[in-house]
Structure formats: C-alpha cells, structure tokens
Amino acid sequence: MGETVRAFRRFLRCVKAVSPVVSTTILIGTVIVLITVAITFANTMLVSRVAESEFNSMKQFMNTVGLQVDNVAWIIGRTQTVRYSSKYGHVEFIDNALRYDIIVNGQSFANFTTGIIVYNMPVDKYSMGDGYYEEIYPSDSSFLQEGTSAPVTRTFAIERLVANSNSYIRVAVVPCLRIVNSTITVRGSAKNYVKLYVPLLVAGEMPRRSLSITLTGTDLNVSQIDNVNTLRIEVVFLRENEGFDNGFFRFSAPVETPNIPADSMLQVYCSNVQVSLGLHS
C-alpha cells in the first residue's frame, strides 16, 4: 500500500514538472500563429492600399493621355511623351478595336479603324467588383462629341469579367469623333460646313524601356463632299469575341445621326496618332 502511495506521489511530481513546459509551448505556438495571421492581414491591406492609390493615379494619367491626343493629332510631326509609375498594373495598346463607318445621303462615304489604350490592374490586387463603371471624361458617353472645344477621346474605368479572358479592372482611352457646324457667307450667299474630326490611334514602337507613352501625329488627311443632306455614323466593334463590345465601351448608342442643314459641305479631317510604349526612358 505504501509503495502505491509513493508511486502516485512521484506521478504527481512529474505532472507538475511537465505542465509548465506544455503550457509554455502551447502559448508560444498560439502567439506565433496570431503574429503570422496579423502579418498576412497587414501585408494584404498594404498591397490593397498601394494598388488603390496606383489605380486612382492612373485614372488621372490616362485622362491626361486622352487630352494629349487632341494636342498632337492635327499637327504632323508633333510628339508628346507622358510618363507614369506602376507597381502592379501595366499599359497596353489594343490595335484594331473599333471601326467608324460614315454614311452620307444613304451611301457609304468612309470608314476608319482605330486602336485604344488600356491600363490593366489585376483584380487580385485591386477590385471594385464585376460591373463597376466610371465615366472619367467627358460625362457624355456618346462617340460623337459636338462643338469646337469637344474632346476627341473618352476616358473611363471599367471592371468587366469575361470568360476565358484575363481578369482586370481597366482604365481605357478611346478615340471618339468631334463634329463642328459653321456657316460662311460669301457674296451674300450662306454655305453651311460640317467638319468631322477623326483621330485614329495606330501602333508604333513598343520597346517598353520605360514607363511612358509617346504620341506622335504622323498623317493628316482631309476629304470632303458637297450637297450633304443626311449624315449617319456607326461604330463597329472589331474585338467583340475578346470582350471589347458595347458592354465594355458603354457608348450611349452605336449609331449617331446628327442634324445638319440641307446641302451642307462635309469635311472629314482624319489623323493618325502613333502610340509607342516605353520609347523614351
């Protein structure tokens, strides 16, 4: 009996000796897990905040690029380089994205194909949710802008997830058309002129030596036709199967029929603006 009691007491001493070690080990393991979770959470929040800041900055940058298109389009040889910084996203030029068909008096007059400039931010870095859309400039989503001070590009942000395609939230610069009506009186006779300005973005060099976009006005052609009574302009989406349809561009209408006076003179100014990425470091 006495031997049994002594054995039990030895067991209790062992338990008392082991318990602090076990407790300390469990406590240290718990602290390590908590620290690991906290570090992971903090890192995720940091990446999200940096990506959010970058995306907001790129919205302003892409708007600046769109405004620069108007500065270089109408003067052959003029060049503008705009630089940016990016950690998570990248700028891409998408060739042959749209075609504008111009129909005069019910007959095809001309058609013009253009590319677009897109900034891509992976949605695993920053996301506003599928279906997000923001009109940056102008607020009018028509591809036909009216007036001498009207823009010749639209800039907008969109997140639209498409099956079998990379998932990005994007900021896009898309060429649009400017229409200007004017009346000139010569020797007592008034004549109405309709001027249509069409900037086309075409691919240039893509060395990507730096984070910059260079725009160069390379060609400017003018064509005209008299006795115009009706004008119809249609937009055709050449990359619909890649997700670049009107669900992406969000034009207010795929067809525009501006009202013009009878027997007008239509003058179409078409400019090629060459887009180069990373040409100048």
Asked if residue 168 lies in contact with residue 244, where contact means CB atoms within 8 angstroms, the answer is: no
- What's residue 25's pLDDT? 67
CB 269 within 8 A of CB 197: yes
Tokens of 243: 């997700």
The total domain count for the chain is 1
- Enclosing domain of residue 167: 61-277
Measured in whole angstroms, the distance separating CA 59 from the mean position of its chain's CA atoms is 8
243 within domain boundaries: yes
Beta pairing partners, 232: 103
Per-residue pLDDT tens digits of the chain, which is 281 residues long: 566 656 556 655 555 555 665 666 666 766 676 666 655 655 555 556 778 999 999 999 999 999 999 999 999 999 999 999 999 999 999 999 999 999 999 999 999 999 999 999 999 999 999 999 999 999 999 999 999 999 999 999 999 988 777 899 999 999 999 999 998 887 778 899 999 999 999 999 999 999 999 999 999 999 999 999 999 999 999 999 999 999 999 999 999 999 999 999 999 999 999 999 998 76
Residue 18 inside a domain? The answer is: no
45 located within any domain: no
Q: Is residue 16 part of a domain?
A: no
- 41 in a structural domain: no
pLDDT of residue 190: 86
pTM recorded for the entire structure: 0.84
Residue 1 lies in a domain: no
| Whole-number pLDDT of residue 161 | 85
74: left (phi over 0), alpha (psi -120 to 50) or beta: alpha
User: Distance between CA atoms of 91 and 66, rounded to whole angstroms?
Assistant: 14
Is residue 55 included in any domain, yes or no? no
Query: Are the C-beta atoms of residues 122 and 88 closer than 8 Å to each other?
Result: yes
State how far the Cα of 95 lies from the Cα of 114, in Å rounded to an integer.
Answer: 7
Specify if 49 maps to a domain.
no
